[in-house]
Amino acid sequence: METNEKQEFTFTVYTENQIGLLNRIAIIFSRRKINIDSLNTSPSEIEHIHRFNIVINETEDVVSKLARQIEKQVEVLKVYYNTNDDVIWQEMALYKVPTDTVAEKVQVERLLRENGARAVVIRKDYTVFEVTGHREETDKLITVLQPYGLIEFVRSARVAIIKDSEGFNAKLREFERKEPGQEVIENEYLDKEKNVFTM
Amino acid sequence: MNTAQEEATTLAAPKKTVSVTGSVALLEGLIAEGTDTIFGYPGGAIMPIYDALYDYKDKLKHILVRHEQGGTHAGQGYARTSGKVGVVFATSGPGATNLVTGLADAQIDSTPMVCITGQVFAHLLGTDAFQETDVINITTPVTKWNYQVTDATEIPAVLAKAFYIARSGRPGPVLIDITKNAQLQLFDFEGYTPCDHIRSYRPKPNVRKEYIEQAAELINAAKKPFILFGQGVSLGFAEKEFQAFVEKSGIPAAWTILGAGAIPTDHPLNVGMLGMHGNYGPNVQTNECDVLIAIGMRFDDRVTGRLDKYAKQAKVVHLDIDPAEIDKNVKADIPVWGDCKETLPLLTELIEPKDHTAWLAEFRAFDKVEQEQLIQHELEPQSGEMTMGEVIHQLNQLTKGEAVVVTDVGQHQMVACRYAKFNNTRSNITSGGLGTMGFGLPAAIGAKFGAPDRTVVAVIGDGGFQMTCQELGTIMQSGVDVKIMILNNRFLGMVRQWQQLFHDKRYSFVDITSPDFVKLADSYYIAGKRISEREDLNAALQEMLNHKGSFLLEVMVAQEHNVFPMVPQGMSVSEIRLK
């Protein structure tokens, strides 16, 4: 693919756990009127270090500049960007459907099986199925379940593993071991006026 | 006692703590960081800090500005002339929002500043309390880093981090928002430890030897090399290293407006100003050189003109401390990451001493054309209305290039940057990237506090002056000695020039009327004078410079005079027009 063509890129960003950093990273995209297609942020496997996955559709030229702008932020440790060919990724979706439809209609059971759905909760009134996969896969089951009374649907952001990520975990562990990160300090006073220091 | 022993004692003995308020800890920290001057404005949510400041009057000079925006520009002026971090105080809400313009200016021009804002009590955050505003989120895009403190125990470490971030690497503004309870809160203060490391932050990239070698090879083989330098040289305190590089290489060097003064104006290899209103030679030769060596500059669009016609024939060597600047606008063939104070000597060592006499002569030939067709008429007109250029020219002759020249934004700014003579670094103080009208007067106040032994001349237009003229009050009260020159053309001149050249002379809301500036100065007890005749200029400038204390000189200049040369927007630098 030509480098000046738009395609999906996944950013992997290792950061400190810091209030406001999400905004600082998000505005790097919004400032340029770039839409974030998918955003996941959660603690990494190492204490104090968070990991973002951000998916956008842009040219590699733009993406490489964005990566440098993100990495420039004081509390960002490291930024990678990869094309879809370079990552293994999944999104998880939950589907809530009426239990009676599922139980009664043989066809539904077959469709669920075909789409790799797994029941998470089965109640008398509704059942929640889970599918993990690419966007097309989770999308497909929406279409399939729509005629059978789909009640609610939710899909997570993309989480992605970089194919060529030799030694990431070891490096992170070593980084944290050498110089442990700091606990995030939150506002301890909301709704606690009596604890607030006054003179 | 030697340091090792000292350390041993400190480790052995339990740390001495003293119970202080967050406000006192903040002021102690500022003193430890070498702060001597604060520009600020009090208000409800920062009152505990101001209360503490009452007892620190002998250690910390506080300059009461007339608007918080003025405070930020004064902080910038102070930082630019002194090389230190500018410190600004403001209260919450409107006080904090008034900082935004100055923060944005400091962010784009890489000026080190620490701004402290008061904030409502921590328990009131998010309740739309009186004078509450979400200053952290408002200032995120215009700060290098910001942080909200809700507990006094955080103050020493956060302040230390703020100063370290503001001045290290590519400098920039930092804001700390401190809730009122944290300012009041007593805690066990263990003393102030400056910060010199943050694990997630690398202020400067590691120097890569291979790129230095490749750059040297390219420079040694070049027939027509050309140096472009920006503020990175002075921000990195690398003027000497830069001059050594220029002199050994014998390469002509041109500057961006923020780079001016890093080598003297009269240096034989200084070939002038780049960009839209820069000199003829440097702009044309950008598209003739074979190797372009960019040092501490970021290829702003006002410097490059049309990018797809910019130096396409040249190999580009880019030295910058900020990796995000490499390849941002102009693709670098050799990216020399790092602090130029480190990279320049390495490069100088590897290059062969040369003089590019014939190539330099080409620049001087362009200079001659520019001089004859344009500059002489600007600087020494024999008749007609006064030009901005002749005012700067006469000023040069009196100050001999020793003054700090602070400018506002517009035509006078371009004229002053083009013609002002600088013998010293940190002498051209202007709003480069953001183009902030109203910058000049407050920045001049800060510049004087940052360089008290130097003459500071503020060159300001009649439009920009009216944006922050309330800072005359700051001059009056602080007694600071600033020479103010208003070049009055009764127009918003730069916009008028564009309307004339590109909008069929449809002068849309650019004629601006002014108060009697001399009377205005007088009402602030500042001496002043207005002149409109050429024969009065020299004497008036002398009177201004010799006056003890501040002085406002209003010079009535030609109404419809254009700044040339000019690279029209969307054109290539080689299409620069002399008229």
CATH (domain of B275): 3.40.50.1220
Please give the structure tokens belonging to residue B110. Answer: 């890489």
Q: What is the pLDDT of residues B330-345, one digit of tens each?
A: 999 999 999 999 999 9
Please give the structure tokens belonging to residue B445. Answer: 């106040």
B179 within domain boundaries: yes
pLDDT of residue B98: 98
Contact B573, B549 (CB under 8 A): no
Q: How far is B182 from chain A (nearest CA, A)?
A: 7
Provide, as residue numbers in chain A, all residues whose Cβ is less than 8 Å from the Cβ of B308: none
Task: Supply the DSSP symbol for B291.
Answer: E
Give yes or no: residues B141 and B78 share one domain. Answer: yes
Question: Of the candidates B119, B387, B121, B439, which has an alpha carbon nearest to the alpha carbon of residue B257?
Answer: B439
Give yes or no: residues B182 and B255 share one domain. Answer: no
Give yes or no: residues B29 and B113 share one domain. Answer: yes
What average pLDDT score do residues B365-374 get?
A: 98
pLDDT of residue B17: 85
pLDDT-derived band at B399, boundaries 50, 70, 90: very high
Give yes or no: residues B185 and B218 share one domain. Answer: no
Please give the structure tokens belonging to residue B258. Answer: 């923020």
* One-letter amino acid for residue B362 of the chain: E
Q: How far apart are CA B502 and CA B511, in angstroms?
A: 17
Our count of domains for chain B comes to: 3
B569 within domain boundaries: no
B21 within domain boundaries: yes
Q: In this structure, what are the phi and psi dihedrals at residue A49, rounded to the nearest 5 degrees?
A: -110, 130
Contact B253, B273 (CB under 8 A): no
Identify whether B439 is a catalytic site residue: no
Q: How far apart are CA B437 and CA B318, in angstroms?
A: 31
Contact B570, B276 (CB under 8 A): no
Neighbours of B370 (CB within 10 A): 19
B113 within domain boundaries: yes
Identify whether B68 is a catalytic site residue: yes
Q: What is the ipTM of this complex?
A: 0.93
pLDDT of residue B7: 46
Place of tokens 């024939």: B313
* One-letter amino acid for residue A57 of the chain: N
Least confident of B3-12, B281-290, B291-300: B3-12
Question: Of the candidates B429, B445, B520, which has an alpha carbon nearest to the alpha carbon of residue B481?
Answer: B445
Q: Which domain holds residue B257?
A: 209-362
Q: How far apart are CA A157 and CA A194, in angstroms?
A: 40
CATH classification of the domain holding B547 = 3.40.50.970
Residue B6 has pLDDT above 60, yes or no: no
Q: Which of A15, A31, A196 sits opposite B141 (nearest CB)?
A: A31
At B119 the three-state DSSP class reads strand
The strand order across the sheet containing B37-40 reads B61-64, B37-40, B86-90, B113-119, B173-179, B145-149
DSSP assignment of B149-185? E-SGGGHHHHHHHHHHHHHSSS--EEEEEEEHHHHH-
| Residues near B473 by beta carbon (within 8 Å), at least 6 away in sequence | B66, B524
pLDDT of residue B13: 52
Residue B117 has pLDDT above 70, yes or no: yes
Asked if B151 and A185 come within 8 Å (Cβ–Cβ), the reply is yes
Task: Supply the DSSP symbol for B491.
Answer: B
Q: How far apart are CA A14 and CA A50, in angstroms?
A: 6
Q: How far apart are CA A7 and CA A80, in angstroms?
A: 16
Residue ranges of domains in chain A, CATH in brackets: 7-86+177-193 (3.30.70.260), 88-155 (3.30.70.1150)
A74 at B interface, C-beta within 8 A:
yes
Give the whole-number percent of chain B exceeding pLDDT 70.
97
Asked if A193 and B328 come within 8 Å (Cβ–Cβ), the reply is no
Asked if A197 and B152 come within 8 Å (Cβ–Cβ), the reply is yes
Give yes or no: residues B234 and B305 share one domain. Answer: yes
Q: How far apart are CA B289 and CA B387, in angstroms?
A: 34
What average pLDDT score do residues A26-55 get?
A: 97
Q: What is the pLDDT of residues B40-63, one digit of tens each?
A: 999 999 999 999 999 999 999 999
Identify whether B470 is a catalytic site residue: no
Asked if A187 and B122 come within 8 Å (Cβ–Cβ), the reply is yes
Residue B173's DSSP bridge partners are B113
Q: How far apart are CA A84 and CA A18, in angstroms?
A: 29
Please give the structure tokens belonging to residue B328. Answer: 């941002």
Q: How far is B304 from chain A (nearest CA, A)?
A: 19
Give yes or no: residues B298 and B238 share one domain. Answer: yes
Q: What is the pLDDT of residues A96-127, one digit of tens each?
A: 999 988 888 777 788 788 889 999 999 999 99
pLDDT of residue B5: 47
Strand runs (DSSP E) across B224-300, as ranges? 225-229, 253-255, 270-273, 291-295
Instruction: Find the helix packing angle between B239-249 and B340-350, rounded to 10°.
Output: 20
Q: Which of B327, B362, B397 is the last residue of a domain?
A: B362
B574 within domain boundaries: no
Q: b or e along B260-286 (b: 16 or more beta carbons within 10 Å of the residue's beta carbon)?
A: bbbbbbeeebbbbbbbbbbbbbbbbbb
Give yes or no: residues B444 and B541 share one domain. Answer: yes
Task: Supply the DSSP symbol for B499.
Answer: H
Instruction: Characterize the bridge pairing of strands B270-273 and B315-320.
Output: unpaired
Q: Which of B123, B141, B201 sits opposite A189 (nearest CB)?
A: B123
Question: Of the candidates B166, B432, B171, B219, which has an alpha carbon nearest to the alpha carbon of residue B343?
Answer: B219
pTM beyond 0.90, yes or no: yes
Q: What is the pLDDT of residues B11-25, one digit of tens each?
A: 455 567 899 999 999
Residue B8 has pLDDT above 50, yes or no: no
pLDDT of residue B107: 98
Residue A57's DSSP bridge partners are A8
Q: Pick the catalytic residue: B180, B204, B421, B448? A: B180
Give yes or no: residues B164 and B46 share one domain. Answer: yes
Residue B446 has pLDDT above 80, yes or no: yes
Q: Which of A68, A71, A74 sits opposite B145 (nearest CB)?
A: A74
pLDDT of residue B2: 46
Q: How far apart are CA A194 and CA A45, in angstroms?
A: 38
pLDDT of residue A128: 95
Least confident of A56-70, A184-198, B308-322, B383-397: A184-198
Give the CA distances from residue B66 to residues A165, B5, B63, B101, B177, in Å, rounded to whole numbers and listed in that order: 56, 50, 10, 15, 21
pLDDT of residue A108: 77
Cα torsion B422, B424, B427, B431 to 10°: value is 80
Q: How far is B169 from chain A (nearest CA, A)?
A: 11
Q: b or e along B395-404 (b: 16 or more beta carbons within 10 Å of the residue's beta carbon)?
A: bbebbebebb
Give yes or no: residues B253 and B215 share one domain. Answer: yes
Contact B52, B27 (CB under 8 A): yes
Asked if B140 and A23 come within 8 Å (Cβ–Cβ), the reply is yes
Give the H/E segment covering residue B108.
helix B100-108
Residue A194 has pLDDT above 90, yes or no: no
Place of tokens 């004081």: A74
Identify whether B130 is a catalytic site residue: yes
A71 at B interface, C-beta within 8 A:
yes
Give the CA distances from residue A145 to residues A102, A125, A134, A139, B115, in Å, rounded to whole numbers and listed in that order: 10, 16, 17, 10, 56
Give yes or no: residues B355 and B415 share one domain. Answer: no
pLDDT of residue A102: 81
Burial of B345 (0-12, 13-18, 19+ CB in 10 A): middle
What average pLDDT score do residues B238-245 get?
A: 98
Identify whether B543 is a catalytic site residue: no
Give yes or no: residues B299 and B390 share one domain. Answer: no
B493 within domain boundaries: yes
B215 within domain boundaries: yes
B513 within domain boundaries: yes
Q: How far apart are CA B444 and CA B430, in angstroms?
A: 10
- Which residues of B lie inside 8 Å of A (Cβ-Cβ)? 121-123, 125-126, 136-137, 140-141, 144-148, 150-152, 154, 165, 181-182, 184-186, 198-201, 322-324, 327-328
Residue B528's DSSP bridge partners are B552
DSSP assignment of chain A? --TTS-EEEEEEEEEE--TTHHHHHHHHHHTTT---SEEEEEE-SSTTEEEEEEEEEE-HHHHHHHHHHHHTSTTEEEEEEEEGGGEEEEEEEEEEEEHHHHHH-HHHHHHHHHTT-EEEEE-SSEEEEEEEE-HHHHHHHHHHHGGGT--EEEEPPPEEEESS-TTHHHHHHHHHHHSPPPPPPP-S-TT-GGGS---
Asked if B328 and A65 come within 8 Å (Cβ–Cβ), the reply is yes
Give the H/E segment covering residue B485.
strand B483-488
Contact B174, B4 (CB under 8 A): no
Give yes or no: residues B456 and B424 share one domain. Answer: yes
Instruction: Characterize the bridge pairing of strands B456-461 and B428-429.
Output: unpaired
pLDDT of residue A125: 94
Asked if A189 and B165 come within 8 Å (Cβ–Cβ), the reply is no
Q: b or e along B151-172 (b: 16 or more beta carbons within 10 Å of the residue's beta carbon)?
A: bbbbbbebbbbbbbbbbbbbbb
Residue B186 has pLDDT above 70, yes or no: yes
